[in-house]
């Protein structure tokens, strides 16, 4: 008789009931994960153990009638990882994306997370992961604010008013109680105004929408960038005042002077080294760079204008006290976050434990006794 295997199914509502939208707690968990990244107690995919994931992309044309073809944001990505520390868990984030999903009443991306026993590979939980992914994406800038924001920061600029920045603002506001004003800029003004209305109601601060990015950044102490890739986002050097902390959860274009005259802090330098290695393995590494949030800085590193990634500063080592964070109130800092499945594992495992304690979710059976048990 083999071993019975059960696992916990957690719907989106189950995830909500387990606390997926608790931004302050999620920031705490993300800080734990940053420490594990700095000490090396984690694994991701690829031979270098730092690959973001394995992507399935579709061809421009195909002779096969049922094979999907390329489209905006159309891909599948498998993101396996192990996370150590108190989590000590394996798992895989499965990511399907298609911009056309909106026409079907679906989000652009449909995400799930499977947690697995590290020894046996048995599933422990199958989780709806859209809100999970959004929460951890948003709370990573929250951790950055703990260590890099200027004290008494009062104005937060939001560049890009979609789902990602909803989560980012929640994470940031959970850590910076001194914020008095949120200034929003979006390519579509009406969406920006909706975001401002939401922010004012949710956080009880003044929130306005402006018509240009320059206006949004004029007073900003903190800037959260998560703009759509439909049109290039250009931010000029002179728009960013001394002392500003810019947190990039999405790409932007800027003159070299902005990158060169601003301190760079990375989420995990080894992840970005893997991005560079992947790009250089392709025929056109510049195109590979362009696909990454840190791409403009990779170019400057190649030109010797920024420190190499092997010598650069990441947030985990700042948290551990092994690297220096902000050095003055006038220092401009750009924090680059590209997203890693280890954060999904950390937050997903925490919510799984909450669900077990509170009786949330549905227990499902993989098998009563495996047919292939020896």
Q: Determine the Cα–Cα distance for residues 319 and 178; give it in Å rounded to an integer.
A: 22
pLDDT score for 326: 96
Task: For residue 221, give the nearest of 283, 308, 156, 265 by alpha carbon.
Answer: 156
Strands (E), the chain: 5-10, 42-44, 54-57, 75-83, 89-97, 109-116, 123-128, 155-159, 181-185, 206-209, 222-225, 245-248, 263-266, 313-314, 333-336, 362-367
At 335-364, the pLDDT tens digits run 999 989 999 999 999 999 999 999 999 999
Residue 247 has pLDDT above 90, yes or no: yes
pLDDT score for 152: 94
The residue count of the chain comes to: 374
pLDDT score for 239: 98
Confidence of residue 330 (pLDDT cuts 50, 70, 90): very high
List, as one string, the DSSP characters of 264-299.
EEES-HHHHHHHHHHHHTSS-HHHHHHTSTTHHHHH
pLDDT score for 7: 98
pLDDT score for 283: 78
pLDDT score for 287: 81
Report percent pLDDT > 70 for the chain. 100
Task: For residue 83, give the nearest of 127, 126, 128, 113 by alpha carbon.
Answer: 113
Radius of gyration of the chain (CA): 21
Q: Determine the Cα–Cα distance for residues 94 and 116; give it in Å rounded to an integer.
A: 14
Report yes or no: 101 and 108 within 8 Å, Cβ to Cβ.
yes
Cα angle, residue 112 at apex, residues 108 and 118 outer, rounded to 5°: 150
* 153 backbone dihedrals φ, ψ, rounded to 5°: -60, 135
Residue 120 has pLDDT above 90, yes or no: yes
Mean pLDDT within 158-182: 96
Which range, of 73-82, 224-233, 245-254, 259-268, averages the lowest pLDDT? 224-233
At 41-58, the pLDDT tens digits run 999 999 999 998 999 999
| 0.85 exceeded by pTM | yes
Q: Determine the Cα–Cα distance for residues 173 and 297; give it in Å rounded to an integer.
A: 28
Architecture of the 142-340 domain: 3-Layer(aba) Sandwich (3.40)
At 287-297, the pLDDT tens digits run 888 889 999 99
Report yes or no: 210 and 184 within 8 Å, Cβ to Cβ.
yes
Distances (CA, A) of 131 to 21, 89, 111, 319, 348: 7, 20, 9, 26, 10
Architecture of the 5-133+342-367 domain: 2-Layer Sandwich (3.30)
Q: Determine the Cα–Cα distance for residues 261 and 333; give it in Å rounded to an integer.
A: 9
Q: Determine the Cα–Cα distance for residues 16 and 271; give it in Å rounded to an integer.
A: 30
Report yes or no: 362 and 125 within 8 Å, Cβ to Cβ.
no
pLDDT score for 1: 72
- Residues facing residue 78 across a β-bridge: 54, 94
In terms of pLDDT, which residue wins out, 37 or 228? 37
Residue 229 has pLDDT above 80, yes or no: no
pLDDT score for 109: 94
Report percent pLDDT > 90 for the chain. 91
Task: For residue 269, give the nearest of 192, 175, 351, 340 by alpha carbon.
Answer: 340
Residue 59 has pLDDT above 90, yes or no: yes
Confidence of residue 18 (pLDDT cuts 50, 70, 90): very high
Task: For residue 183, give the nearest of 214, 164, 162, 155 by alpha carbon.
Answer: 155
Residue 252 has pLDDT above 90, yes or no: yes
Report yes or no: 232 and 166 within 8 Å, Cβ to Cβ.
no
* Burial (0-12, 13-18, 19+ Cβ within 10 Å), 185: buried
At 262-318, the pLDDT tens digits run 999 999 999 999 999 988 888 788 788 888 999 999 999 999 999 999 999 999 999
Residue 230 has pLDDT above 90, yes or no: no
User: Domain spans of the chain?
Assistant: 5-133+342-367, 142-340
At 183-218, the pLDDT tens digits run 999 999 999 999 999 999 999 999 999 999 999 999
Q: Determine the Cα–Cα distance for residues 51 and 270; give it in Å rounded to an integer.
A: 9
In terms of pLDDT, which residue wins out, 68 or 339? 68
């Amino acid at each position: 008789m083999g071993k019975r295997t059960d696992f916990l199914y957690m719907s989106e509502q189950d995830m909500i009931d387990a606390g997926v939208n608790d931004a302050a707690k999620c920031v705490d968990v993300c800080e734990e994960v940053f420490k594990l990244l700095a000490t090396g107690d984690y694994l991701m995919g690829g031979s270098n153990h730092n690959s973001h994931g394995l992507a399935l992309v579709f061809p421009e044309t195909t002779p096969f009638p049922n094979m999907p073809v390329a489209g905006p944001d159309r891909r599948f990505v498998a993101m396996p990882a192990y996370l150590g520390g108190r989590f000590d868990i394996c798992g895989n984030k499965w990511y399907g994306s298609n911009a056309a999903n909106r026409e079907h009443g679906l989000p652009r991306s449909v995400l799930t997370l499977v947690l697995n026993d590290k020894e046996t590979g048995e599933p422990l939980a199958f989780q709806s992961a859209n809100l999970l992914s959004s929460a951890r994406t948003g709370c990573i800038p929250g951790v950055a604010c703990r260590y890099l924001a200027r004290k008494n920061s009062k104005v937060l600029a939001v560049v890009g008013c979609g789902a990602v920045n909803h989560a980012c603002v929640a994470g940031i506001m959970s850590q910076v109680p001194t914020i008095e004003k949120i200034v929003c800029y979006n390519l579509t003004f009406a969406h920006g105004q909706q975001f401002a209305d939401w922010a004012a109601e949710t956080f009880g601060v003044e929130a306005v929408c402006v018509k240009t990015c320059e206006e949004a950044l004029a007073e900003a102490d903190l800037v959260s960038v998560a703009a759509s890739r439909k049109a290039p986002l250009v931010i000029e050097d002179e728009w960013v005042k001394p002392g500003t902390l810019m947190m990039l959860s999405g790409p932007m274009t800027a003159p070299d002077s902005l990158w060169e005259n601003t301190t760079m802090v990375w989420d995990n330098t080894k992840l970005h080294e893997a991005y560079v290695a992947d790009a250089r393995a392709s025929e056109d590494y510049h195109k590979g760079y362009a696909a990454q949030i840190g791409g403009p800085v990779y170019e400057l590193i190649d030109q010797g204008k920024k420190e190499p990634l092997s010598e650069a500063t990441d947030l985990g080592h700042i948290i551990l006290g092994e690297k220096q964070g902000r050095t003055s109130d006038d220092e401009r800092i750009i924090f680059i976050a590209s997203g890693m499945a280890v954060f999904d594992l950390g937050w997903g495992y925490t919510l799984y434990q909450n669900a077990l304690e509170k009786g949330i979710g549905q227990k499902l059976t993989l098998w009563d006794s495996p047919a292939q048990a020896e």
